[in-house]
Amino acid sequence: MTTLGRLACVVPFCRRTTTRADFDEWICGDHWHLIDKVRRQVYGRHLLRWRPYGAAAYGPAAARIWRGLVAQAVECAAGIR
């Protein structure tokens, strides 16, 4: 969701935004730290490989990892996990 050229955090009711526009979704720092450390490390390792080619080159693998991160951030923010 964009508001006046800003990108909002993917967690519902989070009011944090960013001006960076090189991606479609974003998890703010407050919610990023709620995600398990192992999941963040896995994403970071894959990100090092994807950067030269873009995440689109990895297609379903990149989307699956990102969806897991978003799901966990939303669940933790809602108090489910």
Quick: pLDDT tens for 10-25.
999 999 999 977 788 9
Q: What pLDDT, on the 0 to 100 scale, is given for residue 78? A: 92
Q: Could you tell me which of 35, 43, 27, 70 has the C-alpha nearest to residue 51?
A: 43
Distance CA 19, CA 37 (A): 26
Low-confidence residues of the chain, pLDDT below 50? Answer: none
| Residue 22 C-beta-side C-alpha neighbours within 13 Å | 3
Main-chain phi, psi angles of 8, to 5 degrees: -85, 155
Q: What pLDDT, on the 0 to 100 scale, is given for residue 3? A: 56
